[in-house]
Amino acid sequence: MSGFKAPPKKNLGQHFLADRSYVERIVLAVNPQPGERLVEIGPGQGAITFPLLRKHGELTVIEFDRDLITPLMEASEGVGRLTVIHKDVLQVDFTKLAGDEGALRLVGNLPYNISSPILFHALEHAAVVRDMHFMLQKEVVDRMAAGPGSKVYGRLGVMLQAYCRVEALFDVPPGAFRPPPKVDSAVVRLVPKAADSVGIADHALFARVVRDAFGQRRKTIRNALQQVCDAAAITAAGLRPEARAEQLEVAEFVQLANHLAATRPRDGAD
């Protein structure tokens, strides 16, 4: 069985993947191996769930829509071992879920209306996540993978690329979904970097530097970061105060935040 039919709920931003060829490409990209811990976010009607379950034999899914839980469990009979967590994914502690059994591999067709919060939530648990394969609005994937100088390079891309390798895999057209969304979609792979290779001294300070730098894109970083540091500190960190945020490499944001972390008073971290 490949899934079941259930009416999509607009208030939950549900668009169910219905094109088998794209399901197969996602499963191929994930390529689950024996012993791995797979967790799917938002299984919906099970379009990705059951092909993964058939290939891997065991899968944990996180589903917020109560009406989908019983159909998911019933459809999984004879396919594999399915564990359903009925919860808002933003309330799921992935670190606790991983326990001592090894890193999680996250998969999902994420609700486009809350995709960024889910990405940042997963990032908080990057230490227990081996990789992530998500389907998102193409515009979001473009922002995630963008580099300096791109019109869509911004806070999301810098924050994700600082902690992960981001790889846009392939696009998915609206016609592959039921109902069709009004936007194109894309599948992206994120592989968290080893903790010792991230090189960020103060994670909260780094996040604030990136947030403030892109808060007013047309401003130079000297002006955008007035609440965080002055031009002398930016220069001392090896950056040009007159540069704009979209011109800086991810490594330069790390460089600036680490310089501030090393030179500011302990009680003035905020």
68 is in an annotated binding site: no
Q: Where are the alpha helices (DSSP H) in the chain?
A: 20-30, 49-56, 66-76, 94-98, 115-124, 138-145, 155-163, 195-198, 203-213, 221-224, 231-236, 250-263
Angle, helices 250-263 vs 203-213, to 10°: value is: 120
* % helix, strand, coil for the chain, step of 5: 45, 20, 35
160 is in an annotated binding site: no
> What is the torsional sign of CA 15, 20, 22, 28?
positive
88 is in an annotated binding site: yes
Q: How far apart are CA 173 and CA 136, in angstroms?
A: 11
Provide the CB-side half-sphere exposure for 172 (13 A, CA).
29
Residue with tokens 């396919």: 79
Provide the CB-side half-sphere exposure for 108 (13 A, CA).
26
Chain Cα centroid distance, residue 163:
11
At 218, give phi and psi (nearest 5°): -80, -10
196 is in an annotated binding site: no
List, as residue ranges, the binding site for S-adenosyl-L-methionine. Answer: 15, 17, 42, 63, 88, 109
List, as residue ranges, the binding site. Answer: 15, 17, 42, 63, 88, 109
